[in-house]
């Protein structure tokens, strides 16, 4: 007998809802899902009233906010973006509403008597509230097991919205994520499962939400499965708690300035220069005969250095690439000449194998469906050893991914390659050590991830860090490609033994990335 799940939402096509539906059907394949989506038809009078209200609350910032949104929507996509080779999981998630086990019914009021009658007739086992309005008891009490809600916040301390903003504002050490029963009061129901995400030195609410979404989806599925089997007990919330509401644009700006500092006139000028340079480059179709391979290392809000990019900034960059460029899998560049487009073709890579690649980069990449190759130092990740460059810079090591996590990423369509075994400088070791590093790294990837055609990226990546003799060793041992990191762009027919990559770090906001893609030089960028 099928397990019937009713999902209440205002955004059936949002990434979080689609990912949750996909995860539910993967874990509980005999389920049937009824999605009840509230879709309101807003009159011109209602829209005008809302605009006036927001002007009173936010002042002149509301005009700027609306203008930026309109400009973003107007320039959202280029034709090239449609030819991006999306990850298979992206297509599966986007198509989930067309799955035969999913039915979508739209209405103007989820709490209406018609919707309650519809729900009762369907006889659901469980209700799930995802980005839903406040539900009334006559609706959320219909499912046999009740209705659960995913709340991105610790309860009862942080009821209400928006996720992560008030925790970061209040300098809380972490941000909770809670699955709880829906009750009459806002976020007051008994707690079923909870977790937390650490607030780092440079954390932003949007960056934290990347991790909250990933954790929350898994927690919802875990709770649904446990409730079905009768193995989970809820507990009442302890204490009075506090309910928060949406901040003003002024409060959002104040938090941004606290995290990043007040934007200087020089920074404003740089953004304007990069933006105009990028616009001109786009109009002139600069880079249409080139392939730009981007190189990242860490996606983290704990540091700002030359190998780290912030989570929100990384998400914004991937959103831009998804909308405006053709993004290809690195291994597809080895198949021959790439077709000319309106701008540069882009490939994405990571080096080393840090844990944040799994926790923050992978959820963003899979959400946008962008193919990416991760080059890992196999002995370091296998034994959870620190990288020497981290010990030199910070005095401590940073966690790396496990093979289980990498297999999970691989199952989602992400790719892997070799970055030596112990992150050695290949130009500074003897022949025997170089041979061992190459052999061990390749063999470990074949054993753990089943690779049959392994690409190599040499450590440190500068011209002086690799030699012709080492390249001959790479070829002789059966690697299929070799990547550098000293900058430059590639022709449409990529030299597989010298795939040039451009490093990206926290200095690069979207305007800077856009400028780099159409030719702005590294030496003048930061």
- The pLDDT tens digits of the residues spanning 421-461 come to 999 999 999 999 999 999 999 999 999 999 999 999 999 98
Check whether 133 has a pLDDT greater than 80. yes
pLDDT band at 243 (very low <50, low <70, confident <90, very high): very high
pLDDT tens column, 372-384: 999 999 999 999 9
Q: Tell me the three-class secondary structure of 280-302, residue by residue.
A: HHHHCCCCCCEEEEEEECEECCC
| Mean pLDDT score of the chain | 91
Q: Is 12 left (phi over 0), alpha (psi -120 to 50) or beta?
A: alpha
Looking at residue 64, what is its pLDDT? 67
Report whether 425 contacts 451 (CB < 8 A). no
What residues are paired with 243 via a beta bridge? 159
List, for residues 170-229, the tens digit of each pLDDT value. 999 999 999 999 999 899 999 999 999 999 999 999 999 999 999 999 999 999 999 999
Helix (H) or strand (E) holding 442: helix 431-449
Distance CA 343, CA 286 (A): 6
Q: How far apart are CA 237 and CA 390, in angstroms?
A: 41
pTM of the model as a whole: 0.92
- Residue 525 predicted with pLDDT over 60: no
Identify the CA nearest to 351 among candidates 441, 218, 258.
441
Q: Report the C-alpha gap between 162 and 245 in whole angstroms.
A: 7
How many angstroms separate the CA atoms of 356 and 106, rounded? 38
Element (H, E) at 319: helix 311-324
* In contact, 330 and 373? CB cutoff 8 Å: yes
Q: What is the pLDDT of residue 274?
A: 85
- pLDDT of 341 > 90? The answer is no
Question: 327: which DSSP letter?
Answer: B
DSSP string, 26-88: HHSTTEEEEEEEE-----HHHHHHHHHHHHHHHTHHHHHHHHHHHHHHHT---GGGGG----H
Q: Is the peptide bond before 303 cis (omega within 30 degrees of 0)?
A: no
Pick from 156-170, 324-338, 404-418: least confident: 324-338
CB 427 within 8 A of CB 451: no
Task: Of 18-22, 78-82, 95-99, give the lowest mean pLDDT range.
Answer: 78-82
Q: What's the CA angle centered on 154, arms 148 and 159, to 5 degrees?
A: 75
pLDDT band for 278, please (50, 70, 90 cuts). confident
Q: What burial letters (b/e) apply to 198-224, b meaning 16+ CB within 10 Å?
A: ebbebbbbbbbbbbbbbbbbebbbbbb
Which domains are delineated in the chain? 1-40+100-145 (3.40.50.150), 149-262 (3.40.50.170), 263-524 (3.20.20.370)
Name all contacts of 165-170 with Cβ < 8 Å and 24+ positions apart: 165/205, 165/244, 165/247, 165/252, 165/255, 166/244, 166/247, 167/199, 167/208, 168/199, 168/203, 168/204, 168/205, 168/208, 168/255, 168/259, 169/247, 169/251, 169/255
Q: What is the CA radius of gyration of the chain?
A: 25
> What span, in angstroms and rounded, lies between the C-alpha atoms of 374 and 384?
17
Distance CA 141, CA 8 (A): 13
Helix axes 431-449, 468-476, angle to 10 degrees: 40
DSSP string, 117-179: HHHHHH--SEEEESS--PPPHHHHT-STT-EEEEESS-TTTTEESSTTHHHHHTT-SEEEEEE
pLDDT at 234: 94
Q: What is the mean pLDDT of residues 333-346?
A: 86
Let me know: does 169 contact 151? Beta carbons within 8 Å.
no
Q: What's the confidence (pLDDT) of residue 283?
A: 67
Give the burial class of 405: count Cβ atoms within 10 A of its Cβ; 0-12 exposed, 13-18 middle, 19 or more buried: middle
Cis peptide before 111, with omega less than 30 degrees from 0? no
């Amino acid at each position: 007998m099928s397990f019937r799940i009713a999902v209440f939402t205002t955004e059936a096509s949002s990434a979080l809802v689609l990912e949750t539906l996909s995860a539910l059907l993967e874990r509980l394949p005999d389920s049937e899902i009824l999605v009840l989506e509230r879709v309101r038809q807003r009159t011109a009078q209602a829209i005008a009233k809302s605009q006036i209200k927001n002007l009173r609350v936010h002042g002149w910032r509301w005009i700027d906010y609306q203008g930026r949104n309109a400009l973003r929507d107007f320039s959202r996509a280029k034709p090239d973006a449609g030819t991006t080779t999306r990850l298979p999981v992206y297509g599966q998630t986007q198509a989930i509403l067309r799955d035969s086990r999913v039915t979508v019914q739209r209405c103007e009021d989820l709490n209406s008597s018609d919707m309650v009658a519809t729900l009762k007739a369907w006889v659901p086992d469980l209700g799930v509230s995802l980005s839903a309005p406040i539900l009334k008891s006559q609706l959320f009490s219909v499912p046999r097991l009740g209705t659960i809600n995913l709340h991105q916040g610790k309860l009862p301390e942080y009821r209400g919205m928006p996720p992560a903003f008030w925790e970061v504002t209040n300098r809380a050490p972490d941000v909770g994520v809670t699955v709880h029963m829906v009750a009459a009061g806002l976020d007051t129901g008994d707690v079923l499962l909870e977790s937390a995400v650490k607030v780092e030195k440079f954390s932003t609410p949007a960056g934290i939400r990347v991790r909250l979404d990933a954790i929350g989806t898994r927690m919802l599925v875990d709770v649904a499965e446990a409730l079905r089997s009768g193995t989970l007990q809820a507990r009442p919330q302890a204490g009075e708690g506090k309910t928060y509401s949406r901040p003003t644009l002024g409060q959002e700006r104040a938090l941004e300035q606290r995290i990043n500092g007040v934007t200087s006139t020089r920074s404003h000028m740089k953004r304007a220069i990069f933006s105009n340079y990028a616009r001109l480059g786009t109009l002139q179709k600069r880079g249409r005969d080139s392939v730009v391979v981007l190189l990242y290392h860490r996606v983290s809000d704990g540091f700002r250095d030359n190998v780290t990019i912030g989570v929100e900034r990384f998400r914004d960059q991937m959103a831009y690439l998804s909308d405006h460029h053709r993004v290809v899998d690195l291994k597809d560049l080895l198949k021959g000449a790439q077709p000319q487009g309106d701008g540069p073709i882009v490939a994405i890579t990571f080096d080393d194998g840090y844990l944040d690649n799994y926790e923050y980069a992978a959820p963003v990449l899979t959400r946008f469906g962008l193919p990416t190759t991760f080059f890992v130092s196999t002995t370091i990740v296998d034994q959870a050893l620190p990288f020497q460059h981290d010990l030199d810079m910070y005095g401590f090591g940073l966690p790396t991914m496990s093979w289980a996590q990498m297999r999970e990423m691989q199952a989602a369509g992400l790719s892997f390659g070799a970055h030596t075994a112990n992150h050695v400088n290949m130009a500074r070791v003897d022949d025997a050590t170089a041979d061992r590093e190459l052999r061990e790294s390749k063999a470990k990837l074949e054993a753990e991830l089943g690779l049959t055609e392994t690409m190599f990226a040499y450590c440190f990546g500068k011209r002086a860090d690799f030699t012709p003799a080492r390249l001959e060793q790479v070829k002789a041992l059966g690697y299929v490609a070799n990547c550098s990191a000293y900058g430059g762009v590639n022709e449409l027919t990529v030299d597989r033994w010298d795939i040039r990559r451009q490093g990206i770090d926290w200095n690069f906001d979207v305007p800077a990335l856009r400028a780099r893609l159409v030719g702005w030089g590294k030496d003048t960028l930061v």
